[in-house]
Homo-oligomer: A and B are copies of this chain.
């Protein structure tokens, strides 16, 4: 059963698949396929498990897992584990079908690169889950990095 505090995030629940694209000054443009799964246990948070793969070869690419914590008044806290060795802590809010967060801390494992900032925006539009991720990395200011459109399966 969904607790009241989690209801603003209920639109994310389920399994989503779709495709996205990435750009950044430090890499060649790329595209990807994605699956993202949001589940809940009855407490006011979502557990999130995501993976991406190359559209042509099927080669696995990124993965991330995390927790979306729903606070009072639509405030959100995010704790995200990136497969490339970054932990992201972020805060933001959900309003209607739009969720936005900005990182408050990013910590790396010993062998991982350092990311300076991450900003996420997720929006449900006509049954499509669209997201954008901005990133500040390698001295480059916060700017568009990923965008994708997913459909519930």
Contacts and interface: CB of A to CB of B under 8 A. Distances in A.
Contacts of A67: 63-65, 81-83, 85
The A interface is mostly helix, strand or loop, or mixed, namely: strand
A151 B134 CA distance: 41
A30 B96 CA distance: 38
Nearest to A41: B60
Given A47-B49, A77-B85, 8 more contacts: A41-B60, A47-B63, A47-B65, A65-B67, A66-B81, A67-B85, A69-B109, A77-B112
Listed from nearest, the 4 A-B pairs whose CB atoms lie closest are A87-B87, A65-B65, A77-B109, A41-B60
Interface of A: 41-43, 45, 47-49, 51, 53, 59-60, 63-67, 69, 71, 77-83, 85-89, 91, 104-105, 107-112
